[in-house]
Amino acid sequence: MPVSLDNLLVIGISSRALFDLEAEQVIFETQGLAAFRQHQLDNESQILKTGAAFALVKALLKLNQLQADRRLVEVVIMSRNSTETSLRIFNSIEHYGLDITRAVLSGGAPLAPYLQAFNVSLFLSLHEDDVQAAINAGTAAALLYQKPTQSHEVENVDQIRIAFDGDAVIFSDASEQIYQTDGIEAFDRHERENATKALPEGPFARLLMALSYIQNQCKNADGRMAPIRTALVTARASPAHERVIRTLRAWDVTIDETFFMGGVAKSDVLAAFKPHMFFDDHPDHCERASDRVQTGRVPWRTN
């Protein structure tokens, strides 16, 4: 019988998001494919340093130790590398003891066509075209920023901490578009008038629901730390808060911590929460946050 990934949280991650391949990327961009290929072959035994999503991936894989009879998470390397140049990636995976056995090596071709084939729930990359294509295909995806410069890397793998923006991330961008086109007063009026109507799902709604499901499956009766902790960090404030609360209630999803920022910068709150990853759609918010915490920008759908 073939192995099914249907009931797993599947993370698709580019090799450049998992490991630090920035020097190699410069070689590719300035010297071309042949020089990149030779560099990788010459350095096959050199272990790569950890990349932007390494801490999150390590923490997620640890969830598989919580239940003896089943896996909860699968991580799939999704790389534009060729098979020939991939050994350095696999050697680094083995070196760090990561339980990753599946890979897509597309040899330069786009990766989006393979997301559904592996039932990917979240795709993380530093390649903007691949991230945009994933979002357009209906898969939660984020373009990662480099590691934060002002704070330590999150080391705690006993509890996964993930922070989300609201509109255009967990929720659809419909209300956000009203704000963008008609201003804050029109936005507040619309949200008051629709306070009891659940917001439509955004690109990360299903991911949040999956994390909530895993939280419920792994509740610790002995009082140990919960394996996942989530936060909603949104620019919304009263009166636009009610619709958010009612929507999460309608979805039967519990967010552990919620911050209605009302336009205040999110960076200090995020630094205090210490997430393995923060997802937001606004480039300005992401730029400010990325100096403090690991950040992924969620692009708007373009089709």
Question: Would you call 74 helix, strand, or coil by DSSP?
Answer: strand
Task: Assign 36 to helix, strand or coil.
Answer: helix
What pLDDT digit, counting tens, does each position of 79-108 carry? 998 888 899 999 999 999 999 999 999 988
pLDDT tens digits, residue range 128-175?
Answer: 999 999 999 999 999 999 988 765 555 555 789 999 999 999 999 988
Q: Rounding to the nearest 10 degrees, give the CA dihedral for residues 17, 21, 25, 31.
A: -160
User: Which pLDDT value is given to residue 216?
Assistant: 80
Concatenated DSSP letters of 125-158:
ES-HHHHHHHHHTT-EEEEEPPPPSSSPPP---S
Question: 9-144 with 160-297: one CATH topology?
Answer: yes
Query: Among positive and negative, which fits the CA dihedral 104, 110, 114, 120?
Result: positive
- Residues labelled catalytic: 165
What burial letters (b/e) apply to 213-241, b meaning 16+ CB within 10 Å? ebbeeeeeeeeeeebbbbbbbbbbeeebb
Quick one: CATH architecture of 160-297?
A: 3-Layer(aba) Sandwich (3.40)
By DSSP bridging, strand 9-13 and strand 73-79 are: parallel
Mean pLDDT of the 223-242 span: 85
Write the single-letter amino acid at 37: R
Q: What is the predicted pLDDT for the residue at 149?
A: 74
What one-character DSSP code corresponds to residue 116? G
8 A C-beta contact, residue 9 and residue 228 = no
Q: What is the CATH number of domain 9-144?
A: 3.40.50.1000
Which are the contacts of 88, defined by CB distance < 8 A and separation ≥ 6?
Answer: 40, 43, 44, 46, 48
CA 78 to chain centre: 14
Please tell me the pTM assigned to this model. Answer: 0.92
Domain boundaries of the chain, sorted by first residue: 9-144, 160-297
